[in-house]
Structure 1
Amino acid sequence: MKKLFQSILAFAVVAVVAAMSPGAALADMSAQLLSPWDGKKVPAGQQCRLFGGNGSTPPMVVSGIPAGAVWIIAEFNDKSYSPLSSKGGHGIVAWPVKGSKTKLFAVPGMKSRLPGGARLVKAARSTGKYASDGYLPPCSGGRGNRYAVDLKAVDAKGKILAKISNFAIGRY
């Protein structure tokens, strides 16, 4: 009887861990960049003003959003520049969710007030001449830095329901 109880308990622990594991939910959500972004090269004009651009966030479509999600939060990062390589170094923006598939429309860089219900969660951590009131578009001066975004589907209480990490948006 004791072995049966231990077997049932072990199975229950495995089932609970599997149910709580974010891996299952993470595999269901996907993202696709929209033109002119291709994930390889930052499009002309989408860099920061310091280098002659007037960049905006890349437009995307996020699919497979879990039920209960109310926001998609995007943390933009320069993976080639350590101080801005994680946790939204180039800014964090949230878009309201509209069903299991939502378009993250382009929002202008360098601004704290955003259109269409999008919200600035946190401005870029850049400083000095690179300082931004909002999202900082790619600003490496064309040195080939790798830019990526982490996407999180969150519920009304801020709980992460699904995540896509290190989604490439392009090199500049």
Structure 2
Amino acid sequence: MKLLGFTAALVMTTGAAMADMSVKLGGGWDGRKVPAGQHCRLHGGNGATPPMRVTGVPQGARWIVADYNDKSYKPLSQNGGHGRIAYPVKGATTDLPPLPGMTARLPGGAKVVKAARGTGKYASPGYLPPCSGGKGNRYTVDLRAVNANGKTLAMIRNVDIGRY
């Protein structure tokens, strides 16, 4: 009997850890086109990260780490080329608020893990909003739920946030 109880508990724990995480964009972001004004200052915008609702966040997650990328520009196309931001987890459903670009000072307990890799006039101490000048570049985000030790518990890759 004890063995059966242990097995059932193990299956439930494994199932909870394997929960499918999903994300929904908000605030006018539709994954097809970057909303007006949400691009970089170099092109007349004042962009912020897209607000997102993440569901299915696994138990034990402490942070949602977001890698923002420009898939059309190879030097910034992966591993947070436009910045890596950590948002505190608030439960199985966590809302990631819009965070300002071009700054390392973020509200709500969010933290810059890695600044954008842009250089010169494209340098940013945090998130670099879409900055292609309207050439139709494809911007994405990769999301990872991580525990207090930094172990990835779940991941969503290549979420289209829009073209600019």
TM-score by length of 1: 0.85
Aligned to 1:92: 84
Aligned to 2:54: 62
Alpha-carbon separation, structure 1, partners of 2:27 and 2:85: 20
Residue of 52, 64, 74 corresponding to 2:44: 52
Alpha-carbon separation, structure 1, partners of 2:121 and 2:62: 35
2:17 is equivalent to residue 29 of structure 1: no
Q: Structure 1: which 5+ residue stretches go unaligned?
A: 1-18
* Paired AA for residue 163 in structure 1: M
| Structure with more helix by fraction | 1
Tell me the CA shift for residue 35 of structure 1. Answer: 2.1
The structure number with the bigger radius of gyration is 1
Aligned to 1:134: 126
Residue of 69, 77, 81 corresponding to 1:77: 69
RMSD: 1.1
Tell me the CA shift for residue 36 of structure 1. Answer: 1.0
* Paired AA for residue 92 in structure 1: R
Aligned to 2:105: 113
Corresponding residue SS for 2:140: strand
Poorly superposed stretches of 4+, deviation over 6 Å: none
Alpha-carbon separation, structure 2, partners of 1:150 and 1:62: 12
TM-score by length of 2: 0.89
Kindly report which structure 2 residues correspond to 1:149-168, keeping only aligned pairs within 5 A, or say none.
Answer: 149-168=141-160
Q: Structure 2: which 5+ residue stretches go unaligned?
A: 1-13
